[in-house]
Amino acid sequence: MAKRIRVKDIFLAETDKNYTVMGWVRTFRNNQFIALNDGSCLANLQAVVDFEQSDPALLKRITTGASLKIEGKLITSQGKGQSVELIAENIEVLGDCDAEIYPLQPKKHSLEFLREIAHLRFRTNTFSAIFRVRHALAFGIHKFFNDRNFVYIHSPIVTGSDAEGAGEMFQVTAFDLNNIPRSEDGSINYKKDFFGKHTNLTVSGQLEAELGALALSDVYTFGPTFRAENSNTSRHLAEFWMIEPEVAFADLTDNMDLAEDMLKYLIQYVLGHCAEDLAFLEQRLLEEEKQKPQIERSEMALREKLTFCLEQPFERLTYTEAIDILKNSVPNKKGKFQYPIEKWGADLQSEHERYLVEKHFKRPVILTNYPKEIKAFYMRMDDDDKTVRAMDVLFPGIGEIIGGSQREERYDKLLKRMEEMHIPAEEMSWFLDTRRYGTVPHAGFGLGFERLVLFVTGMSNIRDVIPFPRFPGNAEF
Ligand code: ATP
Ligand code: MN
């Protein structure tokens, strides 16, 4: 194909020269003004057609959604609203689009409707902005860790270990489900399955990342994870991406520092790299908020909220301290929580997390030292034998964005905890080996990528920040 210039670049290109652009028609006004978008940036390029000189049959084919190749001269714009425009000299229709049936009309569509046409929603301003921001965040994550000499580990997607996600894992099998091999006692004979054992899709790359950290010191994973939990919420997906750094020679404080530095770096990164998209998403959010009753509206605009998070140190406190605050809080006393906080040991729900962040501290919060009963077996036991060195990072509008801990590096304590929690040590011998052979204090966490994208874009449903969401009852596309 002819060499093309991206729309993003043409805005900065020298005028009075000829260029070729390619993209999709957003609108075609008065048989004269084409708004062309190629996804390289939010703004459309205005191409001006000389309709008196043009073939009427061609003009008819320039419809919303059609793809065009336009060659012409770039000039300083005479009209308002754009700095430059392209005087079209040659227009070629690459792909026609029947405007009568094209689902994306040049008007406002609801997010719910767009979710049903996720294959086309990339072509809207909102979704192209979201996915450019998502890209920038992914790139920023790799940059953050690479600059700090972390090694990117690809943890397996098919896993033979189900220690972490019992009950909420998707099974992986090559069996013909109508003809499953059985043992003599009638149980399923997984020895005959593809891997010779029962396998699942991973719920987390952490255990494997630990193995890497105990040799490479600083590692991270960034990959898809799968949970068959039936949480039909605006914060849960069945398939989501997780970033899991794991650091040797580190304790809980180091872990909190890393999490806070990383989140601030990423917010800063997006503010610096996606200014135009964030401005657009901020406006979108303002309009959405206008539909809500006054008390539910956010006090801050999107970029203000992002900057605010950068400037504040995250509030750090223990679970025990948080329980005291929640127990004595107004909503708890007035029975406003769906799950009232009665005593120490209660698992915190998103409503409690958001109360702490949005109402009490008015900034991101890191909660630490949770009761061992509500946390995973691998978290390091505190001296009181009641709490573990867990940390959850809580964000406004989101609740938990990161869950992590200092890991139990002491062999005997880890083994005891596994026994208490009925995790078969034989199947986890590879994990226990790291504690047998040169164990070291280490810590890590998991950041839910989509929750971060949700926060940064100001969207309210996690299904709108991943291209093709998977959730109960839905695996379209
Ligand atoms: P939650 O209590 O919100 O369900 P969790 O305690 O199950 O979270 P972890 O197992 O600690 O979460 O996973 C680490 C991070 O992964 C979470 O902090 C969150 O950001 C993200 N996460 C967990 N489950 C989901 C999900 N179903 N969809 C999207 N992100 C998720
Ligand atoms: Mn969960």
For the chain, give every residue range classified as CATH 3.30.930.10: 123-152+211-464
CA-to-CA distance for 263 and 268, rounded, in angstroms?
9
CA 227 to ligand 2 centroid distance, Å: 8
What confidence tier does 107 reach under pLDDT thresholds 50, 70, 90?
Answer: confident
Tens digit of pLDDT for each residue in 156-201?
999 998 766 667 999 999 999 999 999 999 999 999 999 999 999 9
Whether domain 7-106 has CATH 2.40.50.140: yes
Instruction: Tell me which residue has its CA closest to atom 2 in ligand 1.
Output: 400
pLDDT at site 165 = 66
The CATH code for residues 123-152+211-464 is 3.30.930.10
Give the pair of three-digit tokens for residue 67. Answer: 């793809």
| Contact between residue 244 and residue 208 where contact means Cβ atoms under 8 Å apart | no
Instruction: Tell me which residue has its CA closest to atom 6 in ligand 1.
Output: 403
CA-to-CA distance for 271 and 282, rounded, in angstroms?
12
Dihedral angle at the C-alpha atoms of 373, 336, 112, 399, nearest 10 degrees?
-40
Give the pair of three-digit tokens for residue 334. Answer: 């007035």
CA 235 to ligand 2 centroid distance, Å: 10
What residue spans of 369-420 are helical by DSSP H?
Answer: 411-420
pLDDT at site 161 = 83
Q: At what angle do helices 302-311 and 252-273 cross, to 10 degrees?
A: 140
The DSSP result for 273-284, as a single string, is H-HHHHHHHHHH
pLDDT at site 294 = 82
Ligand 1 test: best mutation among 394, 451, 452, most atoms within 8 Å of CB? Answer: 451
Nearest ligand (C-alpha, residue 347)? 1
Tens digit of pLDDT for each residue in 395-431?
999 999 999 999 999 999 999 999 999 999 998 999 9
Grouping H, G, I as helix, E, B as strand and the rest as coil, residue 32 is: coil
Check residue 99 and report its DSSP letter: T
Instruction: Tell me which residue has its CA closest to atom 29 in ligand 1.
Output: 236
Q: At what angle do helices 429-436 and 206-216 cross, to 10 degrees?
A: 30
Nearest to 139 by CA among 266, 46, 33, 36: 266
Query: Could you count the other beta carbons within 10 Å of the beta carbon of residue 30?
Result: 7
pLDDT at site 96 = 98
Average pLDDT, the chain: 95
Residue 85 has pLDDT above 70, yes or no: yes
Grouping H, G, I as helix, E, B as strand and the rest as coil, residue 254 is: helix
Amino acid at 305: K
CA-to-CA distance for 54 and 31, rounded, in angstroms?
10
Residue 81 has pLDDT above 80, yes or no: no
CA 465 to ligand 1 centroid distance, Å: 15
Tens digit of pLDDT for each residue in 366-379?
999 999 999 999 99
Query: How much is the pTM?
Result: 0.96
The label of the residue with tokens 């872990």 reads 255
Amino acid at 269: Y
CA 473 to ligand 1 centroid distance, Å: 20
What residue spans of 1-110 are helical by DSSP H?
Answer: 7-10, 56-61
| Contact between residue 154 and residue 55 where contact means Cβ atoms under 8 Å apart | no
Question: Which of ligand 1's atoms lies nearest the C-alpha of 237?
Answer: 28
For the chain, give every residue range classified as CATH 2.40.50.140: 7-106
Residues in contact with ligand 1 (CB, 6 Å cut-off): 227, 236-237, 240, 242, 400-403, 446, 448, 450-451
Report the sign of the C-alpha dihedral through residues 141, 143, 148, 154, in that order. positive
